[in-house]
Amino acid sequence: MGAVLLPAVVTLTKHQRGGCVEESAVIRLGDRDVEYRIVRSHRSSRVRLKVGPATGLVVVVPVAFNAQRVPEILAGEKDWILKHVRRVEAVEAARPRIALCDGGQVMFGGRPLTIQVHPRPGGLGPTVITRSDDAIHVALARTDTARLEELLLEWLQGHARSAIHAAILDLDPDRQFRFDRLCIRDQRTRWGSCSSRGELSFSWRLIMAPPEVLRYVVAHELAHIRERSHSRRFWSLVGQLVPDYDAAKRWLRTHGAHLEF
């Protein structure tokens, strides 16, 4: 047998996720470059490939697995990978986008709300945004007409911070899980993270998910303060905080990729 010609790995970087090191790379498969992440899992005894709209190509490997073997594995699964990458891209291209405009809809707490813009009388005074059961009402000042999307994003992000902070206080009223800083970010591929420096970060898009899903993600990152890896002890701790977390995990897998625009 001749030598196997492996596809070129274009880049390779490492970063922290919880207590685990993830490796990110780009590999040439056929006529295109495909980004992927290597995730080491204590619960995996074999290599698994996953392709999703929010995550892209993920290679789940056992903790002690030699990452240098991954390009060869991906080359062997080239057709399967490209088929699923193209399928995800086609679904994403056909999916209607959320529009932050008058008459548009946005998810809030797991429910679609219609944006209704009402110009302020005479265009005077500040823009005021309020919410009812089925709509987000914007009393728009004349001077803010060009900033409607920006103002709505600020409003959503503010509510996300308040909801996440409230969930932390509810899950941990005695401050048993100590952290140094809470950040709300514009993260598209991660709902939350817990850094080794004691910083908790969450995607503001969680405000679009049902409250129980937001609560689960907060519990997940609080548990990482004590258990850095996704070990049995980690999931036991998550279960103590949120006993019914499996339902929230399933919701995120099914609907998480739709919480963007």
The 10s digit of each residue's pLDDT in 37-49 is: 998 888 888 999 9
Q: Given this model, what pLDDT does residue 157 score? A: 95
User: If we measure between CA atoms, which residue out of 190, 163, 183 comes closest to residue 256?
Assistant: 190
pLDDT grade for 22, boundaries at 50, 70 and 90? low
Q: When comparing pLDDT for 172 and 88, which is higher?
A: 172
Cα 223 to chain center, whole Å?
17
CATH number for the domain running over 105-258: 3.30.2010.10
Q: What is the mean pLDDT of residues 225-236?
A: 91
Checking DSSP bridges between strand 20-29 and strand 135-140, what pairing results, if any?
A: unpaired
Per-residue pLDDT at 11 exceeds 70: no
Annotated domain spans of the chain: 9-94, 105-258
Per-residue pLDDT at 14 exceeds 60: no
Task: Name the least confident of 105-114, 116-125, 165-174, 185-194.
Answer: 185-194
Q: What is the mean pLDDT of residues 106-114?
A: 92
Per-residue pLDDT at 19 exceeds 50: no
pLDDT in tens, 130-158: 999 999 999 999 889 899 999 999 999 99
State the chain's mean pLDDT as an integer. 85
Q: What is the mean pLDDT of residues 198-226?
A: 94
Q: 196-214 burial, b for 16+ CB within 10 Å, e for fewer?
A: eeeebbbbbbbbbbbeebb
Q: Given this model, what pLDDT does residue 113 score? A: 93
Per the confidence metrics, is the pTM higher than 0.85?
no
Dihedral, 203, 15, 247, 182 alpha carbons, nearest 10: -40
